[in-house]
Amino acid sequence: MKVAEIMTTDVFLTAPTRTIREAAETMQRMDVGSLPVGDGDRLVGMVTDRDIAIRAVARGMGAETPVREVMTQDIRYCYEDEDVDSVARNMADLEVRRLPVVNRDKRLVGFVSLADFAHCGDEESSEELLKGVAKPH
């Protein structure tokens, strides 16, 4: 099974110049915990609800802080034509619950998450990923 078969394709990018308030409002509206950050058609980062809480609010930054100041720039991703087994192992090793999915031109085409794996029918991949991301810290 390929990642393209289980990924979510309804993805909204936010710009690095948007405020963390706007990013949080978008997360609330879309009921998601993270947003890819795009500059034009390039994926330049990710911002999560945790980034906003820990990197901004906990440090006293205001709601008008640009996303670029709190986003994660070191982006991990997978390709849409990769096998789910391989991606699950990679996500478990990285201890991440979601990954952006790009095509071979490195354009964002979707997201794959722990929930996608849990519902894909590949119990082995799902279990491996869960064990990787659920490690105690």
b/e code 45-68 from CB counts within 10 Å (16+ = b): bbbbeebbeebbbeeeeeeebbbb
Dig out the tokens for 55 from the structure: 């990197």
Return the CATH number at 123.
3.10.580.10
Structural domain of residue 58, as residue ranges?
3-133
> Quick check: 47 pLDDT over 70?
yes
State mean pLDDT over 24-52: 91
SS3 call for 72:
strand
State mean pLDDT over 70-86: 94
Q: What is the pTM of this model?
A: 0.78
State mean pLDDT over 99-125: 85
Dig out the tokens for 102 from the structure: 């790009």
Interacting residues of 21 by C-beta distance below 8 A, sequence separation 6+? 63, 64
Predicted confidence at residue 131, as pLDDT, reads: 67
